Amino acid sequence: MRIFTFKNLRILILISVLGAVLLYTQDQRLVTQGWYKPLEVVIFPINADSSSSVNQYIDSLSVKNFADIDKFIKRESEKYDVVSSTPTSTILGKRVSILPPKPPGSGSNPLAIAFWSMKLRWWAMQNTPDDKSNKHRVRIFVLYHDDKPNQKLEHSLGIQKGLLGIVHAFASNEQAKQNNIVIAHELLHTVGASDKYDAYGNPISPDGLGEPKLSPLYPQKRAEIMAGTVASSKTQSHMARSLKTCVVGEKTAQEIGWQPN
């Protein structure tokens, strides 16, 4: 009776690889949610429309365009027991010319989603290769689009495995502050935060409200970052104007490893 076969060897190798990935992912989560040193956030701009106007906008970008993100994270972290006094350090990376793989549609099976996630991580490795550890670095790929009237952008996303974010944004100075809201939202997804809005885009009470203890409860004046909108009533809301009117609520803080004071 043969115990060793090539099939058994393949299974053993697969189990070993999956085990290594699981251990690395767990270690990555523990490191990023420890907040004992600044988490590097690298913004990689992409011209999603291949247009000259978007090229000009990307050429004009500097790290100052994203300064509000670090200010927001630092301000909100001071409400909690966070080790690092500078939780994030956002820098502008090089332009990426190749578009990321499109995510599967809504209702896709878990296998398709897992396969896309692997493709995305491979794409990121191919287009932003370096020797840095991904345990302390989040890569946010911002796909800039022409700011056309009534244009709807694709859904942005952030994934914890690999610390990657895909953000769809308008190439417009007028939209820059709201672009930073989306970037901060997806950044927090990469370190464990969950969405806090319903199927209609309205904040879910109480965790999705910027002021859950306000009385009367509505209208709200602030947005919880993982909802992204300010609720004027239970069924109506509008996007926050900037990160100045956003907060990190208690539930989100718990998810990303920020402890109460």
Give pLDDT tens digits for 207-227. 999 999 999 999 999 999 999
Question: Within a domain: residue 21?
Answer: no
> Of 164, 192, 220, which closes a domain?
192
- How many C-beta neighbours within 10 Å does residue 181 have? 23
Strand partners, 91: 42
Q: Give how far the C-alpha of residue 10 lies from the chain's centroid of Cα atoms, to the nearest Å.
A: 35
pLDDT at 7: 66
Assess whether 157 and 200 both reside in one domain: no
Q: Is 20 inside any structural domain?
A: no
Number of domains in the chain: 2
Same domain (yes/no): 52, 164: yes
Residues 214 and 152 in one domain: no
Do the beta carbons of residue 245 and residue 222 sit within 8 Å? yes
Q: How many residues does the chain have?
A: 261
Q: Read off the DSSP letter of residue 114.
A: H
User: Is 31 inside any structural domain?
Assistant: no
Asked whether residue 4 is domain-assigned, the answer is: no
**172 in the same domain as 151:** yes
What is the per-residue pLDDT for 127? 92
Which of 192, 212, 229 is the last residue in one of the domains? 192
Question: Do 143 and 249 share a structural domain?
Answer: no
Residue 43: inside a domain: yes
The answer to whether residues 199 and 183 belong to one domain is no
Q: What is the pLDDT of residue 118?
A: 87
Residue 213 burial (C-beta neighbours within 10 Å; 0-12, 13-18, 19+): exposed
Query: Within this chain, do residues 178 and 61 fall inside the same structural domain, yes or no?
Result: yes
Which of the 8 DSSP states describes residue 4? Answer: -
CATH number for the domain that contains residue 119: 3.40.390
- Could you tell me the pTM of the whole model? 0.88
Comparing CA positions, the residue from 12, 67, 15 lying closest to residue 41 is 67
pLDDT of residue 6: 65
Pair (129, 215) in one structural domain? no
Residue 252 shares a structural domain with residue 171: no
Whether residues 67 and 159 fall in one domain? yes
pLDDT at 107: 74
- Residues 47, 159: one domain? yes
Residues 198 and 188 in one domain: no
What DSSP letter does each residue of 196-251 carry, written as one string?
-B-TTSPBPTTTTBS-TT-SS--S-S-EETTT-EEESSSS-EEE-SSGGGEE--HH
| Residues lower than pLDDT 50 in the chain | 1
150 vs 198: CA distance, rounded Å: 22
pLDDT, position 234: 95
- What residue numbers bound the domain in which 261 lies? 194-261
Which residue, of 165, 192, 219, is where some domain finishes? 192
pLDDT at 175: 96
- Please report whether residue 2 resides in a domain: no
